[in-house]
Every structure is written in structure tokens, then in C-alpha cells.
Amino acid sequence: MNRLDAFPKVLEAAVVRTSTGGFFTLCTALVLVALLLLEFQRSFIALDAESHMSVDAPATAREFVDVHVHITFPWMPCDEMDVHADHNKGETGFLTQEAFEKRVPREAELRPFRKALGKAFQYPLQVERADNRRQSRETIYGCSIEGRAMVPKVAGDLHFWVPKPRVSSMENLGVLAAMFPGLVQVDAVPHNISHAIHSLSFGPSFGFMSSALEGEINIITEGLAQYQYNIQLVPTRIRNNGRVSLQTNQYSVTEDDMVLDVMSATSDRYHPGVYFYYEFSPISVEYHRNRGGVMGFLTSLCGLIGGALAILRFIDTFAHRLLRKKH
């Protein structure tokens, strides 16, 4: 049995203790404590996430998505802005204006424009308006719109628009301006739908998920325009330890803008505004988040202790031999 002993003993008289050995022993203890805490946090507090893709189940009639929007228009008055929504089930205008708060922007909501334009940012905006052939000066303080809406889980659109563009106070002036460009003038400052998107989400947010349009800012420099965001929604489920704890939607987006002439802006088809067109992907994503457990913790702990002791023992032996050669 003595020959089978894999742990040979060293006589106490042959043991030599050195100051370098004490230093590395202290370092070993500190490293092991730090690794122990990190492994405990990883195994019992943090969750390991794995993603899986699958075909999404067909939406039911009772399935709705909670949409949250916060957008600021620095040069559009609130009394001229409306919120509207349509979806592919044929229902239109089902949103209530009370679901969205319209107010004058706060300084924090104007900060993206000040950062982007610097001293060129004019706020509030002073404009000249023609009313009954009289010129009047108007101050525009902008509009910040924020709210939530429950929309069916089908393709649709949500838009912040100007339903009745104020092109001119003179009857048929828009038609004349289109027929005789340069001879007829419309309002000196048309509707400017420059905007900043502070947040846009389709469902609850989660820690590691980010909003593609959060912080997006677009400055319109060509007068009347319609800005469009085409959004592809990906249904997403978060499973913690096998249980569905959150159901939401991630999205990707492409952008497009359309410059409107006077004829277009006064028609029923095109209106100045910001349009969000969204549709749902048939593919869904599931994140499975699980903790390591006791067995995983013990296995990792043994590996950490063995590896740390082996590496620091090697460093201690090398340092001891190097010091002996110098002496």
C-alpha cells in the first residue's frame, strides 16, 4: 500500500519556509477569495443566457402589444399635431388622443437638438404667418408627445402627423403655387417635422435588450416632408429557469423620407409627419436563462482551487530558485 500512495509526505525537518513563500501564500489566498466570490455570483446570482430561434405561433384575436413612444418636435405646435394608428385588420383611428400627453418640450428633450446643431439651433422659433391677408408673428415652442397604446399583434402603422396642413390662408393658393412655381408664395415657414425619438418600444424592456431608435434625431431641412420608419418586429420570450417571465419584441429598422410639394401636402394621401410602419417576423427568439446550480459551482470551485494553487506554486518555485542563484 505504501507504493500506491499518490500523496508522499515530506518530513517536517526538511521543510524550509521563506518570506517569498509567505508572500505567494498570501497572494494565493486573496486570488482564491476573489475567484470564489466571482464563481458564487455566476452560479447563484447571475443567469447564463442561451438564445434559440423558432417559428412564432399565429397571433390570436386577444393578443395585443404594448407600444410606448416618446418623441419631440421642436418646431411644431401641439395643437396642429395628432396621433393616429391603423392595422391590417381594417380598424383605423382606434387610438384615443387621451392616451398620449402633448406638452411643451423640457430642456432635457431639446438637448439632442442643441448637441446636433449647436448655435444654429433656434428655439423657440419665430415665424411670420399670413392670416386674412395680414402678416402676424407667431412663436412656436414645439411639442413633446409621450404615451402608450395597446395594438393588435398584426402589421400596422402608428404616425404623428399634421392632419390639416396650414399651407396658406388664401383659398387655392396651393394649387396655384404648384402650377406657377416662383410666382406664388406660400407661408414663409412650412411645417417642419424635425424630431428626436427618446424611446420606442413594443413591449416591456429588458436589461440586455436595446432600442434601435432610442436617441434617434432627424433634422428636416427641405420644408414639407414625411419621415418613415419601417420596423421589423421579432417576438422575443425570456425564460428564467424554464419559466416564461417576459414576452416582448425586438426590432430592426430602416428609414426613408419623402419631400412633399404643396399639392401632395394638401391631398388626403400624403401629410407631413413621422410614420412608423411595423410588421411582425414569423421567426421568434427565446432566451433561456439558467443558474449553474450547486454541482456546477462545486465543479468549478475545484478547478479554480487546483489551477490557482498549481500556477502560484510554480511561480513560487521559480522565484525561490532565482533568489538562491543571486545569493
| CATH number of the CATH domain containing 215 | 2.60.470
Same domain assignment for residues 116 and 240: yes
State pLDDT tens for residues 165-189: 665 433 444 444 444 444 334 443 4
Give the CB-side neighbour count of residue 288, counting CA atoms within 13 A.
7
Give how many domains the chain has, as a whole number. 2
Same domain assignment for residues 214 and 301: no
- Which range, 124-133, 145-154, 315-324, has the best average confidence (pLDDT)? 145-154
Q: In angstroms, how far is CA 266 from the centroid of its own chain? A: 35
- CA distance to 22, 152, 228, 267, per residue, from 80 (Å): 77, 27, 19, 17
Same domain assignment for residues 56 and 42: no
Grid cell digits, residue 6: 499518490
Q: Provide the whole-model pTM.
A: 0.70
| Residue with the three cell numbers 393616429 | 84
| Residue with the three cell numbers 432610442 | 214
Same domain assignment for residues 158 and 66: yes
Same domain assignment for residues 199 and 110: yes
Average predicted confidence (pLDDT) for the chain: 78
Grid cell digits, residue 36: 470564489
Query: How far apart (Å, rounded) are the C-alpha atoms in residues 173 and 24?
Result: 88
> What pLDDT is recorded for position 13?
61
Give the amino acid at 197. I
Same domain assignment for residues 316 and 243: no
CB atoms within 10 A of CB 82: 20
Report the length, in residues, of the chain: 327
Grid cell digits, residue 76: 411644431
Query: Which residues lie closer than 8 Å to 318 by C-beta, 6 or more apart?
Result: none
| pLDDT higher at 122 or 110 | 110
- The residue among 276, 273, 199, 270 whose CA lies nearest residue 230 is 276
Same domain assignment for residues 102 and 221: yes
Same domain assignment for residues 295 and 225: no
Domain span holding position 299: 19-47+291-321
- pLDDT of 286 > 80? The answer is yes
Question: Range with the lowest mean pLDDT among 3-7, 80-84, 93-97?
Answer: 93-97
Q: 156 near 86, Cβ under 8 Å?
A: yes
Rg (C-alpha) for the chain, rounded Å, is 33
- pLDDT of 291 > 70? The answer is no
- Whether 327 maps to a domain, the answer reads no
- Looking at the chain, the whole-number percentage of residues with pLDDT higher than 90 is 27
Same domain assignment for residues 214 and 303: no
- Whether 127 maps to a domain, the answer reads no
2 pLDDT tier (thresholds 50, 70, 90): low
Taking phi over 0 as left and psi of -120 to 50 as alpha, with beta for the rest, 241 belongs to left
Same domain assignment for residues 308 and 213: no
H helix count then E strand count, the chain:
5, 14
Burial of 62 per CB tally in 10 Å (0-12, 13-18, 19+): exposed
Query: Which residues lie closer than 8 Å to 190 by C-beta, 6 or more apart?
Result: 165, 167, 223, 224, 265, 272
Query: How far apart (Å, rounded) are the C-alpha atoms in residues 300 and 41?
Result: 12
- Whether 170 maps to a domain, the answer reads yes
- Whether 211 maps to a domain, the answer reads yes
Q: Could you give phi then psi for residue 154, rounded to 5 degrees?
A: -140, 165
Give the amino acid at 140. I
Same domain assignment for residues 270 and 315: no
- Whether 239 maps to a domain, the answer reads yes
Same domain assignment for residues 295 and 311: yes
